[in-house]
Structures are given as structure tokens and as C-alpha cells.
Amino acid sequence: MDRRTFLAFDLGAESGRAVVGILEEDKITLKEVHRFINRPVRIIGRLYWNITQMFQELKIGLLNGVKEFPDIESLGIDTWGVDFGFVSKNNELVGLPVCYRDHRTDGVPEKVFRIIPKERLYSLTGIQIMQINSIFQLYSMILENSPLLKSIYKLLFMPDLFNFMFTGKMTTEFSIATTSQLYDPVKDAWSREIFDSLGLPIDIMPEILPTGTNLGGILQDIKDELGIGDISVIAPAEHDTGSAVAAVPAVGENWAYISSGTWSLMGVEIKEPIITRESMDANFTNEGGVNRTFRFLKNITGLWLLQGCRRSWEREGHSLSYSEIVKLAEEAKPFRFFVDPDDPVFLNPPDMPTAIKDFCKSTGQGIPETKGEIARCVLESLAFKYKEVFEKLKTLIKKELNVLHIVGGGSQNTLLSQFTANALGIPVYTGPVEA
């Protein structure tokens, strides 16, 4: 088999990376060629993504990749879901994409439910109700009477924005489109009922393309700037979890997964969405996957709590690696403090350790004082949350599950993986890390 070389960009809510994959003799070898920090920027009270800097980092990754592997034939980009930006008819960016952790959606779901009842919204989309969803972000702009609405030609989700910058094409892909809660999986189209009910113009939504579509080559001005040749841009499963699940090294059918990172997404892969009263009450979601499968899962606030603690401790002058934090957690006494990782107080608090202490105090548990106690509280709480969601998942799919695969960056946290295996009582396999 002839060697083939590809470039993958994986952008998360904390970092981004460029990885070259070399496919040769039925084996794929991965080589990271660039990594960068990605954090939102607060400007006059609003939290934005620094999209121009992010695109610059992608170009650096592309150049690094081509320098080391001149035979790269195509690239693909995945990111987190729900967030979006806008472009005008003149191919200009309209404003900056707002981060899903911004507070502009506070109270917005309830206002939407007055127009479209919660039950109807779920039945139309099969998507878990979360205030970060694109539908609530978009409707918040109507409530604010945002002047940007007058300049929009197309709404593009985060990976689509980068594809647009590379190719000039304004399209989206199945997996990322499903995260918006604006897509009807039964009709395989944007939900006209939702757009009409909320007074949103449906024509701003891009064409939904199948996973794996070739979007064409990189624009000439980028090739000239970087001094590179022709490279095709492919739309992979643009939602990072969709790509991660495709990489799970599972056999058989009785397995579940956790895509572990800032968020923990626990679920199974199915052929058709499960949209029932029971799945709605349990707040499970049906997100698109590769080959038009659906990932029936629940979004759980994952290592965001630990990331928030680390940032707070850094501000206090205590710079700790994640391995050092895990070691402190290992040394702390077990089963002393617990939080609900999905409680709204942890969405974007000014100081995460304080939020954890306040939660414990308000629920009559005492207060975790040391860094180790706080970290152990987070990890044990996540493991028990996984247990709760796992049991509900089995009930909803009416099937036993006997193996769990943890993929993504969070799979490197061996203490959390062991806690999870202990809580679930089944074999837990970790990796690939770079899923």
C-alpha cells in the first residue's frame, strides 16, 4: 500500500493541536507538529473566541506540517460544538464568535420554552437541553436586538469558519450541525418550525454536507503566503466528539464510551436517534456521528472543574501540573466531599476552588481546605456522576453494557479512570489520548 499523509487540526476549549497522520501498510502513525493554548478573551463583559489568532495558529500548524511532510494531501478540522460566527455577503467576518460560557444565555431557555415548549423542542431535535446550545445563543441576540443580525449572510459553526477561511466555502457538516438544537434528524434538515416560531431567518443557515466531503483546495492567497502547494480541505466529523468516537478501538456492540476532556461525553453509537419522553427527562442527546450514525449520549461537565482550579491556583502563584494535582488528590482522604459537576454554579465561576467550597458548605459537608482535598472531591464526584449516567444509559437503550472506553486527553488521568472502573464495576480501557 502506498504511503498517504494527512493533517488533522483538533481544537478544544483549552488548547489546539495539529497532528500529521501517515497511513502506510495498513498502519497509521501520528506526529504532532504544533500545539497552542486556546482560551476565550473577555472584552467589556463579554467572552469571545480570538478567532484571528486561532486561524494564525492553524496556518503555523499547516506550515510546520508541510515542512516536515511535503506529501500532505489533505487537511481536516474539528472543534467543540454549539459556538458559531457570522460572515457577510462580501466574505467578511461579522463580529467575533462568542464563547458558550458567556452569560448571555442566562435565563434564555425559559424564554424560548414560552414559545416552543421544552417537550416540543426536544421532540423536534432530540438534543439535550443546555443553555449553551446554539438555539439559545442565537435567540439571545434577538432579545438583545443585536445589530449584527442585520449584517449576517451565513451562520458558520467554529470548524466551518476555519474551513471558510481556508477555502472560501460557506457550508457545514452533519455532526457539528446536530449540536445546534436547530436541526431536525427525522427530516434531515434545519427545523423550519423552530426558525419560524422564534423569528429567526432560516436562510442564514449553511448547506449541511455529509461527513467526508471534499470542500476543495486551499485559497491561492494562503498558498502564496505560506509557500505551499495544493492541499484539499475535507470536512471530517467536525464535532470533536464525533471524530473521537470514530477512533474508539472497540469490538462488539456492548460497549460505551466517554470522550473525556473539558466535557465528559458518555454514550453509545446507534443507527437511529432515540427521542422519547424518557430520554428527554434524563436529558440525553442525539448528536451526529460518522456514516450518519448518532451518538446517544449525555454531556457531563468534565475536567473543566479541575482546569478551573488549576487556573485559580496559578493566579495565586502556585503553578501545578495536572500530574502534580492528581498526586495531591491521591494523597487526600477518600469520600469526604462531593459536588454535582453539572450544577450551574460551576459553569463559569470567578474562582473554581471557592465555588467548590461554597457548594460543599451549602450542602452540609464541611469545607475541603487543601488542594488535594479539592482535587479528590472533583475526581470522585466525576466518577460517581459517570456511574449515575451509565445506569440511566443502560435503561434507555434497553441493553447491557459490559465495557467502557475512555478516549481523549482526559484518558491520561489514571486516577479518574481507576475511580470510574471502581464505580462502574466493569473493565475500563483508556486511549487513544489523541482521539
**Catalytic positions, written as ranges:** 240
HSE on the CB side for 232, CA within 13 Å?
A: 12
Going by C-alpha positions, the residue among 9, 12, 37 that lies closest to residue 303 is 12
Q: Residue 25 — left, alpha, or beta (φ > 0 → left; ψ -120 to 50 → alpha)? A: left
Cell numbers for 205: 443557515
> 31 pairs with which residues across the strands?
20
* Rounded distance between C-alpha atoms, residue 280 and residue 276, angstroms: 6
Coil/strand/helix, residue 83: coil
* Rounded distance between C-alpha atoms, residue 4 and residue 2, angstroms: 6
Coil/strand/helix, residue 43: strand
List the helix and strand counts (H, then E) for the chain: 15, 21
Alpha-carbon distances of 69 from 29, 57, 163, 273, rounded to whole Å: 13, 18, 21, 40
